Amino acid sequence: MNNSDLMTVADNKEKILKTNERQKEFYNSDAVAKKNLPSRIWSKIRNGVLNDYRKQFDITNRVYDQHKLWLGDLSDKKVLDLGCLRGNALSLYLASNSKKYIGIDLSDKAIGELQTKIDGVKTNDAQAIAVDFLSDDFAETDFDIIYAYGVLHHFEDFDLLISRLKEKLKPEGIVISYDPLETSVPIKLLRSAYRPFQSDKDWEWPFTKTVLRKLKNNFVILDQKGILGSSKYGLAYNFLPLSGAFKTSKIQKLIEKDWNPKKDKDVYKCMHLTMMFQNKS
């Protein structure tokens, strides 16, 4: 890499750090509660109809259960809970069971709440820190596991993120992630129509096919599970005059097909993807 390239990388990193400062202000303020109309409409769809659908077929809990299987025995593990805000569904589980736990987020307000939760449970070595993952202020390294639930798609420069992940992981450390995809035509069109009006559009970058290829080129993909691929169309079954047992059976088959993708095209159909990938030694 020549001097010109180094300057470009440095300038880009500085730009992203400034964007992250605005992201911090967003999550520290009432802006989250006061989303604009398009954001509220999408939130209502995502947290309403889609959320009810996930609950009906226990999709969300299935993801968390899978993450616990991937995490395995944490008693001798150093774990980074990346972008955890005030604590995600597994934050206290990680804090209570790992040898060393560090939860980080941009929002000092949210991190303060997480630290209070951590203080309320029996832990070994656990702490919550308000810091930017890309900043030089975050000096911790040699993590066995980086848990990133709904986080990695917030990084616009994915090459920079990959470099940072590899730097922070042990040689064969793993990342467990969960992120939205923008790889199917219907979802891409929907997101394209909604994105210009999105309150947090400056730090929302759903995974593309290019991003997935970069992950495969830089890490060993140990496992991956698709969510709401063909099964998202199962919502339409609820409006058909068919028996409940028949509809449930058909939808379950679609969910299983998404959950166990055999080819890239099966992954690309999905709205979300959860992965376990390993640093190359």
The more confident residue out of 138 and 245 is: 138
45 falls in which pLDDT band (50, 70, 90)? low
Q: How many CB atoms lie within 10 A of CB 34?
A: 10
* Percent share of the chain, pLDDT over 90: 63
Terminal-to-terminal C-alpha distance of the chain = 22
pLDDT, position 2: 46
> Are residues 175 and 165 in contact, defined by beta-carbon separation less than 8 angstroms?
yes
pLDDT digits (tens, 9 = 90+) for 48-95: 677 888 888 999 999 999 999 999 999 999 999 999 999 999 999 999
Average pLDDT, the chain: 88
Per-residue pLDDT at 10:
64
pLDDT > 70: what percent of the chain? Answer: 86
**Hey, CA dihedral for 62, 87, 195, 217, is it positive or negative?**
negative
Q: Dig out the tokens for 56 from the structure.
A: 């009906």
